Chains A and B, each alone.
Chain A
Amino acid sequence: MSTAVLKGSRGMNSAVLRTEIRLFRREPGALFWILLFPTLLLVILGSIPSFRDPEADLGGLRTIDVYVPVAVLLGLIVGGLQAMPQTLTGYRERGILRRMATTPVRPSALLAAQMTVFGGAALTSALLALAVGRLAFDVRLPEQPAGYLLALVLAVLVSLALGAVVCALSRTTKIAGAVGSAVFFPAMFCAGLWAPVQTMPDVLARIVGYTPFGAAAEALNRAAAGDWIGWTHLGVLVAWTVLLTAGAARWFRWE
């Protein structure tokens, strides 16, 4: 099916969005992994006493402090890279997009709704991690809230764009699951799940800084510390978002 047939101009449809939100709430797996798991991980790490002591290696920060941005990114990555491509590929595979194409509303409405649902869920997850970090472990809230929010929104966009590429390149939900997982681990590494970016060797940290989630992690760290997020990180995030969105738009098949 040609893209021109189905794309259409009208993006969002509020009834479709409401339906997709309702359906998302019926997925206990997605709710747990996107919304709760990152914060749960933070709580587990924060329960280890030594993680609450300042470390010289981390410039006087505590381990729990550097894991807050990791938890924030974790929700984004699970939502954008694993949950969304699975759902969208399934919608394509089972002809749900096609059925939508026979109505006056275009299937692009479903795509837009999916992006909104998973983007919103990822943001909610991030805010929950920040709130729990602050309340339970006394992690300081970002000192530059505007810069932090900007970095967060860009990180959500880049994860959705990457998820859209996964969806565009995967013909079936099985492939989408495999590709999603294959990208998931490098993404989590870059976000700093195994070793926060601050603790990585210089060369590695520089390379990681050019990946979408490495740049996001650094941008979030700087904004949290009260610094301007930096044109390099901002540029890297924007470049990846533009590049991945263009790729997804080019390769995405409605059928």
Chain B
Amino acid sequence: MCAHPASRDADAMSVIEVSELRKSYGGRPVVDGVSFAVQEGEIFGVLGPNGAGKTTTVECVEGLRVPDAGRVRVTGLDPIADHEKVARVLGAQLQQSELQAKLTVREALELYASFHARPADWRPLAERLGLTGRLTTRFAKLSGGQKQRLFIALALIGNPRIVVLDELTTGLDPRARRDTWDLIEDIRANGVTVLLVTHFMEEAQRLCDRIAVIDKGRVAALDTPAGLIRRSAGATVISFTPSAPLDDADLDALPALASVEHHDGRVTLSGTDETVSAVLTLLARLHITAHQLRVTEATLDDAFLDLTKEAAA
């Protein structure tokens, strides 16, 4: 199996391996041949539109669903056959899952701590998650942000090596979302590998080391956020109003140019970073001033739309 030493090394560092995973519901394939490997210590994003198969994929990793075909390994273990061992190293925060309405925060923390042989001390954990003032509050009385923080605490209480966070910040206000991002970076800084399911581009771009873009049950792309952005055509857009007319031939000669538009004396070019420097050099050479110069980077948003559009075609 390990013909190449390099691939063996990569295997040794993978804490999650998914290969050729398939899962159908009622004959409709929801996950259709998904493969990826998550390295120890990284924040790995699973990004995709609603219904793309993200949650089903991670549920197979968590051992909540039995794959129809393919292989899933968590620290080398099968999440179905070795469920208990996997549950000891993997903490999960589920999408749309609650707790008993009248259970208090403290009781929930103590209960879930009791499930593990070597749990984290829940007091500092509650402190870190800002739950100390809510320990005697019942679950039903918590705010959305507090519930999410409690779920994160429950996912971390077993001192896991990996946490799976599914749509963690959905429904949170922007402030709470940013606090949660800091928290995720904090979790990783403590050596925990994070598998993050999201449909927020900003979140994926800010947090993830690598992202698997999943669309219609398949991996449409797998790269770093910067790599994904670079892949999309016309990643960088330069627009300006030149102090003197420009020759189209000069513009067309620019490197990596994707498109040129003229509108009311304003020039809009799309291309890459290379195009930007070349156009600035060109303008300087012609002694033309670029008024209201704007350079906008494509975001992961653009890359994502680009990728999922391709897959749709």
Contact = CB atoms under 8 A, between A and B. Distances in A.
Contact of A5 (B65, B94, B97): B65
B64 A5 contact: yes
Contacts of B84: 8, 104
B96 A19 contact: no
Interface in B89-127: 90-92, 94, 96-100, 102-103, 107, 110-112, 114-116
Interface string A11-25: 001011001001100
B83 interface: yes
A28 to B, nearest CB: 11
A105 B63 CA distance: 13
Nearest to A105: B115
Contact of A96 (B64, B97, B115): B97
Nearest to A6: B64
A26 B107 CA distance: 13
Given A8-B83, A95-B96, A98-B94, A23 B102 contact: yes
A15 B111 contact: yes
Contacts of A99: 94, 97-99, 154
B135 interface: no
A56 interface: no
Interface string A84-107: 000000010011101101111100
Given A102-B92, A104-B84, A104-B115, A2 B97 contact: no
Interface residues of B, number: 30
A1 B25 CA distance: 11
B52 interface: no
A5 B102 contact: no
A203 interface: no
A27 B100 CA distance: 12
A44 interface: no
B66 A2 contact: yes
A16 B66 contact: no
A88 to B, nearest CB: 12
A13 B111 CA distance: 10
Most buried by A among B83, B90, B100: B100
Contacts of B158: 103-104
Contacts of B99: 96, 99
B115 A5 contact: no
Interface residues of A, number: 24
B260 interface: no
Contact of A94 (B80, B91, B98, B111): B98
B266 interface: no
A5 B107 contact: no
B80 A5 contact: yes
B87 A104 contact: yes
Contacts of A94: 97-98
Most buried by B among A15, A96, A101, A103: A103
B209 to A, nearest CB: 24
A79 to B, nearest CB: 18
Interface of A: 1-2, 4-5, 8, 13, 15-16, 19, 22-23, 26-27, 91, 94-96, 98-99, 101-105
23 contacts: A1-B65, A2-B65, A5-B64, A5-B65, A5-B80, A8-B84, A13-B115, A15-B110, A15-B114, A23-B103, A94-B98, A95-B94, A95-B96, A95-B98, A99-B94, A99-B98, A99-B99, A102-B63, A102-B94, A103-B87, A103-B112, A103-B158, A104-B87
Given A4-B66, A19-B107, A104-B115, 12 more contacts: A1-B65, A5-B66, A16-B111, A23-B100, A91-B100, A95-B94, A95-B98, A99-B94, A101-B63, A103-B87, A103-B116, A104-B84
